[in-house]
A and B are shown apart, each in its own frame.
Chain A
Amino acid sequence: MLEVSHLTVQYGAIRGVDDISFSVKEGEIVTLIGANGAGKTSTLRAISGLNKTSPETSIKFMGQEISNQRAHNIVKMGLCHVPEGRRIFYDMTVSENLYMGAYTSSNSAQVKKNLERAYTLFPRLKEREHQLGGTLSGGEQQMLAIARALMTGGKMVLFDEPSMGLAPIIVRDIFSIIKELREEGVTILLVEQNANMALTIADRAYVMETGKITMSGDARDIKNDGNVKKAYLGA
């Protein structure tokens, strides 16, 4: 579904992401793990068009080249991004936030269906429908960010650190929702610092270090790998 080859992101003289290639098949959860500054977020931002990429980069989404597309066009193709740090609209109510997610859709019946789906996935948001986004708790804000991204009706979701700054019990909720989404047929690329959690729910994993992919394979194998254990899982 997503085919990334020779992805390079340059920040001035520094290569944030250095010639990496990977792929995500339809219906998979693929996770990208790594330490701080490994280039995980840069990779996601490059895929969704928020970062400029080098000319040799090729990113194919459902067979279409998207590396030169601008962010808003990529969303229209069905690739949506849950940005790092949630980034909800603080001064809008929960329902207005969700309607913003449906910005690209002109089919109001579909928007209504998506809204109902978002509220069934996150009953907590239904309770807080008329509350301002900024008054939600961290976990609720993350739920809102995910629900909002789903409102775009995308076939694939890029998650950027959904567990950041959340209590462990909420992290578990969020991850179970990610699993639920996969069962609905949404393809997921998950970037995480919480490697343990990410590897538990993922099918395949890539490990990034200073801009390069150093290891890839089945999530279970990576979880049991000695080096990964030592570096990220603290065992």
Chain B
Amino acid sequence: MQQIKKLFYRNGKSYFSYVMIPVLFLVLMAAFQLDLINTYWQTIILLSGINGIVAMSLNLINGITGQSCLGQAGFMSIGAYVSAMCTKLVFDGFMTSGFSSYLFFIISLLIGGAAASLIGLLIGIPSLRLRGDYLAIITLGFSEIIRVAWRVIPPAGRAMGLNTIPKLSTLPMVFISVVIVMLVLRNFTNSRFGRSCIAVRENELAGETMGINTTRIKVLAFVLSAFIAGVGGGLYAHMMTFINPDTFNQIKSTDMVLYLYAGGVGSFSSALLGATVFSFLPEVLRSLGEWRLVIYSLSLVLIMINRPKGIFGKHEFGFMRYGEPENIHMKAENSGILSSLFQKLAYRRRKAERAPAAGKGDQ
């Protein structure tokens, strides 16, 4: 693995992930096209990508800006309903060929995201002026309001929800969305705005004395996060082909928080990996029957005890890494379960290399 990685070093930077992402895409694409994976697992793979998008959007609020949002499913549902209504009711007549249906699907996703970010703006402006846990309570309440609101809106199908949504969330759509979202979030975090988000997380008062308009920064991060969650919701609706208000209940919001914190809060790549692992885990454990949920919950408890920073820690992996290279202090702070495993293995290898030499010395 290390030898392979070394092939992609240029100017002290590793381009490994730039190569691995297209390779992963081609492998998945081939597996999907040749039916090496059955439809059930295909759905799980797509679902983990979509969950990853929403978990990453949540990381922007909870991990980077240091606020707490517990209602991400609310934004998902706005994106899902608005984009589904667009493709089903508005653009239906235009979606004749393959190309035009994807074009209008992308437009619908963006409209869904924009609607979610508009609502995000409306609830963000009053609530983000406050400090502390108010935002958590407000977002919790908001996602419930949205859920109830869809029950009384006729075009949204009331409690029946929407069905026969065109199935447009294919592997390329989801995969490319994940990559685009990663790039957008990386560049945002690396920008002046992103750095001020981190400053708000670290110390809001100090941020203010540095000349940061902290309310504006928080609202900006919230709106961007809502947009991405809305796009994630849109993809979800067009994968499942039916949605109803209860699809996006409190459990969905909690799942997103779980993916983020079990993966590693503060890092987008950890959020994505966490979402992947914890979307797969319940399905992998399905053969265990009713013990499934016991083991699932137990594994969460064990992770939180042994790895309070999440399985993958605060690391950004591959091309998601930005800014200065990680130094020893950051490594100690950020280490996740994998990096500490690698460190342990490297330590054992060094010890094993040294042991025979030391043995010879004794004779």
Q: Tell me the A residues contacting B by CB distance below 8 Å.
A: 48-50, 70-72, 75-76, 80-83, 87-93, 95-96, 99-101, 103-104, 130-132, 135, 145, 148-149, 152
The answer to whether B329 and A104 touch across the interface, beta carbons within 8 angstroms, is no
The answer to whether A100 and B195 touch across the interface, beta carbons within 8 angstroms, is yes
Interface centre among A75, A76, A101, A103 (most CB of B within 10 A): A103
Q: Is the interface of B mostly helix, strand, loop or mixed?
A: helix
| B205 close to A (CB within 8 Å) | yes
- 1/0 contact trace for B207-234 toward A, CB 8 Å? 1111111100000000000000000000
The answer to whether B210 and A152 touch across the interface, beta carbons within 8 angstroms, is yes
Q: Tell me the B residues contacting A by CB distance below 8 Å.
A: 192, 195-196, 198-199, 201-203, 205-214, 323-324, 327, 329-330, 333
The answer to whether B198 and A92 touch across the interface, beta carbons within 8 angstroms, is yes
Also in contact, A91 and B209, with CB within 8 A (given A103-B192, A130-B327): no
The answer to whether B208 and A50 touch across the interface, beta carbons within 8 angstroms, is yes
Residues of A within 8 Å of B213, CB to CB, are 70, 72
A-B contact count (CB 8 A): 79
Interface centre among A70, A101, A130 (most CB of B within 10 A): A130
Q: B207 to nearest A CB, angstroms?
A: 8
29 pairs, CB–CB < 8 Å, chain A vs chain B: A49-B208, A50-B205, A70-B213, A72-B208, A72-B211, A72-B213, A75-B211, A81-B209, A87-B203, A87-B205, A87-B209, A88-B203, A89-B202, A91-B201, A92-B198, A92-B202, A93-B324, A95-B324, A99-B195, A100-B196, A101-B210, A103-B210, A103-B212, A104-B211, A130-B327, A131-B327, A132-B333, A152-B210, A152-B211
Residues of B within 8 Å of A80, CB to CB, are 209
A96 CA to B323 CA in the complex, in Å?
9
The answer to whether A103 and B196 touch across the interface, beta carbons within 8 angstroms, is yes
Also in contact, A132 and B205, with CB within 8 A (given A91-B198, A99-B195): no
Residues of A within 8 Å of B212, CB to CB, are 72, 103
